[in-house]
Amino acid sequence: MADRWKAVEEELKRLTHFNTEGRAKMVDVSKKEVTARKAIAQGMVKMRAETMSLIKEGSIEKGDVLAVAQVAGIMAAKKTAELIPMCHPLQITGIDISFSDLSKTELGITATVKTMDRTGVEMEALTAVAVAALAIYDMCKAVDKTMMIGNIELIEKTGGKSSQ
């Protein structure tokens, strides 16, 4: 039994997100170097073509859908550490949210987040995309109950030792 526990302890030392009791912990990044870091995430909202037209025309009753979604995404990126338990609070130096027509029924969302810090901003970029998509859904749900949010993914990460 002692040998088994020793093996478990050794494995836990390798896993940076667990303490010696096997419980989750926030990783200590104090020894990491401060570097320029950037993450880009993307996702999409699928909707009826009529809904896409209403968004482009600015005819959704609740207001300018993309302006609201852009602000929601920016706010979400800034609040990521409050939403995701093991994320470090970061000094974000830039956030950009952009939208593109992927098709007549698919609206693309891209978030680019930058920092000068000890850890990356992947979760901030992913959170920005997710919340921007949710804001679009909220703004348009009265006219389109068929909307789907999907394909949220990290597409680029730079900075730090594990750049992609």
Which residues are known to be catalytic?
138
Residue 152 contacts by C-beta under 8 Å, 6 or more apart in sequence? Answer: 41, 42, 43, 126, 129, 130, 133
Q: CB neighbours (10 Å) of residue 81?
A: 16
Q: Do 112 and 60 contact (CB within 8 A), yes or no?
A: no
Q: From CA 124, how far away is CA 155, in angstroms rounded? A: 13
Length of the chain: 164
